[in-house]
Structure 1
Amino acid sequence: MNWDDLRYFLAAARYGQVTAAGQRLGVDQATVGRRVVHLEKQLETRLFDKSPRGYELTEAGRRLMSFAEEIEARVESAEEAIVGNAKTLSGAVRIGAPEGVASHLISEGALELCRANPELDVQIVALPRVFSLSKREVDFAIAVSPPTSGRLRVRRIANYRLHIVASADYLERHPVRSRQDLYSCRGIGYIQDLIFDRELDYIPLVEPGLVPRLTSTSLHVQLEWTKRGAGLCVLPDFIANRHPDLVRILPESVSFERSFWLVVHEDNAHLDRIRRSADAIADAVAAKLAEYAEPAGPAPSL
């Protein structure tokens, strides 16, 4: 048994498809399949049940998985030790975050991380979903709620606030003086059955009977609609405060507080490349949230 075969085994186990595993490793799917078969012949046991749906671990495969992950962590630690205590980082680090977080809170921090570490390959996966660290979809993630299961290390980065906002133009046409007035306005929000985290389901907390009529999985799309005077939207202050044409609505009575969390798999938490990158990105997120916690001048409100 050699480490290369285990690398292919781990990728196939984590992604459940030889195509996806090959893409992650930079090889074609035939290579992944061939290395898995080679490992099974060496061990004289079947590691996967293969079907049109993909690769599913057998009991023997699940037992091998824990050993392979331990070996993987030791190999990465050895690589870092042999390279030496270099002041700069190298290799690849993949970060998972929701779209709004990636563009407004992480992008500058990632740029600074690259500038400080020219040999580091920084990859940001900006998608509206929960990432699987056990499958190594990302090396660490910024989450809107803390995971409650899995071999994960989780810490809170910082809190942030959200308010209902709209363009001044929209409010001239649809003035809002009370919660009841909200029912006569068009709501902008997430598609209800595609909300990937319940912490983002704000509308029922504003008024239980409100139903947004203009919805998207993309926070950027919601922001654009709001700026163009399409309706009312619940936006984080770190996004809304960047746009002086947006007006807070009922800020004294309608406001929410949420948190961002740093999530790292236990097997990776000790690796210098991931630990230092995660700390740098978490610090950048916290600094940005502090910067946009309040607008530069008096907040426009009704």
Structure 2
Amino acid sequence: MHKTNWDDFRFVLAVARMGSVSAAARELGVNHATVLRRVAGIEDRLGVALFEKSVRGYDVAPEKLRLIEAAREVEIAVKAVERLAQAGDTPLAGVIRVMSSDTFCHAILPPVVAGMSLTSPGLSFELLCANAQTDASRLHADVIVRTAFKLPDDLYGEVAGQLAFGVYAAEGVPEAHWLGMSGLLGRAHVAHKLNERLQKDGVVFRAAADSFMTLRALAEAGLGRTMLPCVIGDQSPVLQRVHAPIDIAPMPIYVASNAELADAPRLRQARARMTAALQADAERLLGLAPAAA
């Protein structure tokens, strides 16, 4: 096997990061043909195909995840050496792709990533908002933040706190007027229990949605009562917490990564810092912070 120059991996990582040859070429400031040639060259030297080509673009082949992550660690190390030569500092740096639900992306994660960015100027984030449990194994995400009683086998992570729920309504909304949870949201344990209880009581939902953010907007419009994470219900200047017909237990919040990549140093460090930030926000996540005026 011929020796591989680090510069060759820049082209591979750009394609993995951007998802297409054209986008990688724009990021690197070269033409489309150059990227194709450099990627093909490194695949020939390694004797492996790094990408699967589809209508969506270029996806990293699942069995090559470790190879790509190793290259990304080298990229971080090279940049760290450059910073050491200039300033003697080696902070967490690079792009961290964080996948979570719209609730977390809107109401919980922005101050977390802002705080991390302040202490690590070389760090940037891409928030991937997906209420469905999208496959994270194809380098769609470095860190996954989600509520669950237990992580699936393909994820490894730590519990960073608990997310409390409550029932909310605008002033004057009748007790019999409710909003339902549909789609994947309706299959969640707590949502299923609430929907089951309300249907037994003969409640006909006036509207339904598969997103807590959408349910909050519908409740603010006066359509009915709804269950919400307290962290978004308490933020509303229109809604107030009302009696819940069932006991709603808090859900564990996990900060996780793909199990095959979880030991990568930069991912361990990113998860640890995000976990610490969420733990510091425990009061608000549990619905114990003062409600909006």
Shorter chain as normaliser: what TM range? 0.7 to 0.9
Counting only pairs closer than 5 Å after superposition, residues 133-212 of structure 1 correspond to structure 2 as: 133-145=136-148, 146-150=150-154, 152-170=155-173, 174=174, 176=175, 184-189=176-181, 191-192=182-183, 195=184, 198-199=187-188, 202-208=190-196, 209=199, 212=205
Name the SS for the 1:256 alignment partner. coil
TM-score by length of 1: 0.71
Give 5+ residue unaligned stretches, structure 1: 177-183
TM-score by length of 2: 0.73
Q: Which range moved further: 38-47 or 280-289?
A: 38-47
- Asked if the contact 1:129–1:197 (Cα under 8 Å) also holds between the matched residues in 2, the reply is no
Name the SS for the 1:283 alignment partner. helix
Q: Measured at CA, do residues 51 and 275 of structure 1 come closer, stay the same or move farther in structure 2, by a change above 3 Å?
A: closer
Matched residues in 2 for 1:33 and 1:197: separation? Answer: 45
- Asked if the contact 1:188–1:215 (Cα under 8 Å) also holds between the matched residues in 2, the reply is yes
Q: Deviations over 1:23-54 (max 9, x none)?
A: 88787765554444334544677676756576
| Pairing 1:282–2:281 present | no
Shift of 1:231: 0.9
Name the SS for the 2:250 alignment partner. strand
Name the SS for the 2:169 alignment partner. strand
Shift of 1:226: 0.7
Residue 78 (structure 1) aligns with: 77
Counting only pairs closer than 5 Å after superposition, residues 202-281 of structure 1 correspond to structure 2 as: 202-208=190-196, 209=199, 212-243=205-236, 245-251=238-244, 253-265=246-258, 266-267=260-261, 269-272=263-266, 274-281=267-274
Matched residues in 2 for 1:51 and 1:244: separation? Answer: 46
CA-based RMSD of the aligned residues comes to 3.9
- Counterpart residue identity of residue 187, structure 1: L
Matched residues in 2 for 1:231 and 1:125: separation? Answer: 30
Matched residues in 2 for 1:142 and 1:197: separation? Answer: 19
Q: Measured at CA, do residues 270 and 169 of structure 1 come closer, stay the same or move farther in structure 2, by a change above 3 Å?
A: same
Give me the identity figure in percent: 22
Counting only pairs closer than 5 Å after superposition, residues 1-20 of structure 1 correspond to structure 2 as: 1-3=4-6, 5=8
Matched residues in 2 for 1:203 and 1:25: separation? Answer: 46
1:101 to 104, 116, 135: 104
Name the SS for the 1:169 alignment partner. coil
- Asked if the contact 1:157–1:285 (Cα under 8 Å) also holds between the matched residues in 2, the reply is yes
Q: Measured at CA, do residues 261 and 67 of structure 1 come closer, stay the same or move farther in structure 2, by a change above 3 Å?
A: closer
Shift of 1:7: 5.8
Shift of 1:234: 0.9
Shift of 1:205: 0.5
Shift of 1:142: 0.5
Matched residues in 2 for 1:242 and 1:74: separation? Answer: 39
Shift of 1:237: 1.4
How many aligned residue pairs are there? Answer: 277
2:122 to 119, 122, 126: 119
- Asked if the contact 2:95–2:124 (Cα under 8 Å) also holds between the matched residues in 1, the reply is yes
Matched residues in 1 for 2:192 and 2:276: separation? Answer: 32
Q: Measured at CA, do residues 94 and 72 of structure 1 come closer, stay the same or move farther in structure 2, by a change above 3 Å?
A: same
- Counterpart residue identity of residue 179, structure 2: G
Q: Measured at CA, do residues 100 and 155 of structure 1 come closer, stay the same or move farther in structure 2, by a change above 3 Å?
A: same
Matched residues in 1 for 2:126 and 2:62: separation? Answer: 29
